[in-house]
Amino acid sequence: MMTRKTTVIAALLLVMLSLSPLQVANAIQAGDAISLTWAPWNTGSSGGEFTVSDYGTKTPLFTTFCVEPNEYFYLGEKLIVQSIGTTIMYNGGGSPVALNSLVAYLYHEFAHNSWNVSGIFDYGENRKTDDALLQAAIWALQYGTIDESNRFIKYALDYSTRDGWSGTGDVGVMNLFSPTGGVRQDQLALVPEPMTLLLLGTGLLGVAAFRRKIK
């Protein structure tokens, strides 16, 4: 039988294990107001990498790439996160479409810097060039163009299966609107995976049960 002290330790460990994966997810929720600006090394480009900040601040939260070539936003404008999921909304006036699994894989590799090939993405002096190539790969894969001369498309085809990647993993889409309801260009973000949420719920239930027991 577990002692009271052992139960406390077990409950705390469970909560810690539950919470730690959330630290890799981007701290953005539906209803938040954000703004997008070029990443400092990417000024003047025709796509991502963009810096995401809470609206009204200049503190960068993370960087992102857009998944819709046919919509737009204004740099620095107030954007409302209507939802975060795995669907690209409106798509330039067309029907909503599901986030492509290979697009999610590439953003996962970029955001975690977990590439299988050393140096495939230059986070240093050539970052703007690689940003443009990765953005082109995201748009091409999302809308059905497989051009293996783009090294990021070839990488996704070669390594996603080897890595056991399926679905969209820990990557989601921020569906963005203006404050007046105008559609804006959807962006990628890291989100907690379903198992993380399950562990979090289990941990909190464990703590609640323990508190009831010791009252």
Confidence category of residue 192, pLDDT binned at 50, 70, 90: confident
Cβ atoms within 10 Å, residue 66:
25
Whether residue 39 contacts residue 62, with contact meaning beta carbons closer than 8 Å, is answered with: no
User: What six digits make up the tokens of 136?
Assistant: 């082109």
Per-residue pLDDT at 198 exceeds 80: no
Cα(191)–Cα(169) distance, rounded to whole angstroms?
A: 9
Residue (of 100, 116, 95) closest to 169 by Cα position: 100
Mean pLDDT of 206-212: 45
pLDDT digits (tens, 9 = 90+) for 95-141: 899 999 999 999 999 999 999 999 999 999 999 999 999 999 999 99
**Residue at 64: amino acid letter:** T
How far apart CA 5 and CA 16 sit, in angstroms, is 17
What is the pTM assigned to this prediction?
Answer: 0.80
What amino acid is encoded at 214 in this protein?
I
Give the residue among 153, 126, 155, 128 at the shortest CA–CA distance from 138.
153
| pLDDT tens string 133-183 | 999 999 999 998 899 999 999 999 999 999 999 999 999 999 999 999 999
Q: Hunting for tokens 């977990």 — which residue is that?
A: 114
